[in-house]
Amino acid sequence: MPALAFYSIAMRASELWVESYQGEVLGEALFSWMADHEEDQERRHQLEVLTLLERSTKQLAEPLFERKALDRGDTAATLKEAGALADVVATMTWEEFLASIGPVAEQFLLKYRELVELAADDLEREIAESYVSHELALAAFARRALGKESGEPLELILALSHVTAATPR
């Protein structure tokens, strides 16, 4: 592979990792804010699990960022964006919020699947595949919570090994 092509692939992968990481930062902050403001106990629990999903998925990539000496991006700006998004979500019904997850998940799935394709080694591929699995579980949660798919909404999220490992006992 010519050096320029390799450089271009590495740059694209780095860009996607930062976008993906910051997506998890945003999701964690948003779901945490929502959980803190949710009065319904079942929904609060679900939002706490979604917060854990985003946090534990974000943490999966941290060794990769260290190894590659990648900048994680502008977390302060992402948290500000999460605050603005929380203002929008606060005006939605629970069902509208759940319905909004699918289109966002589809956008992130495209990025995560590209990361799988661009993986330079087994560690990158494993982390990228975990990001794909996490997004598929999140989308399934929304469908199940809306009654569009059978099954317990949190089942697939709680089956993810990185979520299970991060779940308080």
What token pair was written down for 24?
């998890």
List the structure tokens of 144.
């199940």
pLDDT tens string, the chain, 169 residues long: the values are 444 444 455 678 889 999 999 999 999 999 999 999 999 999 999 999 999 999 999 999 999 999 988 889 888 999 999 999 999 999 999 999 999 999 999 999 999 999 999 998 999 999 999 999 999 999 999 999 999 999 999 999 999 999 988 776 5
3-166, what's its fold? Ferritin (1.20.1260)
- CA–CA dist 144, 113 (Å, integer): 23
Answer for the pair 122, 103: CB distance below 8 angstroms, yes or no: no
- Each domain of the chain, given as residue ranges in start order, spans 3-166
- Read off φ and ψ for residue 71, nearest 5 degrees: -75, 135
Token pair of 59 as six digits: 């943490």
Neighbours of 12 (CB within 10 A): 13
CA dist., res. 55 & res. 125, Å (int): 19
Dihedral, CA of residue 112, residue 138, residue 66 and residue 33, to nearest 10: 130
Rounded alpha-carbon distances, angstroms, from residue 105 to 1, 65, 93: 33, 23, 19
